[in-house]
Amino acid sequence: MSPPSKVAYQPMIREMPPSERPRERLQRLGASSLSTAELLAIVLRTGTPSENVLNLAARLLAHYGGLAGLARASFSELCAQHGVGQAKAAQAKAALELGRRLLSSQPQERATVHSPQDVANLLLGEMGLLEQEQLRVILLNTKNQVMDIPEVYRGSVHASLIRVGEVFREAVRQNCPAVIVVHNHPSGDPAPSTEDIEVTEQMVAAGKMLDIEVLDHIVIGQQRYVSLKERGLGFG
């Protein structure tokens, strides 16, 4: 079995305050308020003696690059992941298939982004534990519905290395009027760097030339995030 990634200790679910437990949060706030990792944790139900189920869910999402990668993984691949086994693999596969069938029956139902918190709900759980920097672009339609979230860069996200054409390639191809750029800091600290601000300025300027609005640039850390738009960094 694949060994678990090295992550900071997290208390078991039973040790967490009731207000922070996924099931209780779902009951109180509704499913749409939970992160992807929290929803998956509810499906998986239990973790391992050394890893709580929230951490297990976030690790799986990070390993497979999100729900799409998790859905593509075979049953045997999931079973081989530390802490999963046949029961959890079956639960995850069943839940993902139900989601796929719902989308196919109602293609108009897509995740909608109206705030940085909505972005965090989509990506914080998985990107917060990535060991390498990644830059992803959330493609939005005119109703702010998520069309796709392609990964553009993996490794160092530096202004000198990023090609603007790559950032906007899928947005142009899919004729998306707006995007939100998201990248993570593996250190866990989401404080924007000078490079992050410079990258944002470049992308905002390029977006104006392409008539594609860059709505925000979100930096994700471990269980935290920063919106450069909210802080007025890189958006003039």
Which SS3 state, helix, strand or coil, does residue 153 take? strand
Q: Which CATH code fits 13-105? A: 1.10.150
Q: Which residues of 79-90 are buried (b: 16+ CB within 10 A; e: fewer)?
A: bebbbbeeebbe
Which CATH class for the 116-231 domain? Answer: alpha beta
Residue ranges covered by each domain of the chain: 13-105, 116-231
Residue 4: the pLDDT is 45
Flag residues of the chain having pLDDT under 70. 1-10, 103-109, 156-161
The strand ranges marked E within the chain are 134-140, 146-148, 151-154, 178-184, 213-220, 225-227
Cα distance between residue 5 and residue 223, in whole Å: 16
Residue 125: the pLDDT is 78
Threshold 0.85, pTM exceeds: no
- Contacts of 35 by beta carbon, 8 Å cutoff, 6+ apart: 120, 121, 122, 124, 125
Phi, psi angles (nearest 5°) of residue 110 = -130, 155
Query: What would the two tokens of residue 7 be?
Result: 């992550």
Residue 105: the pLDDT is 60
Query: What would the two tokens of residue 140 be?
Result: 């939005």
DSSP state of 203: H
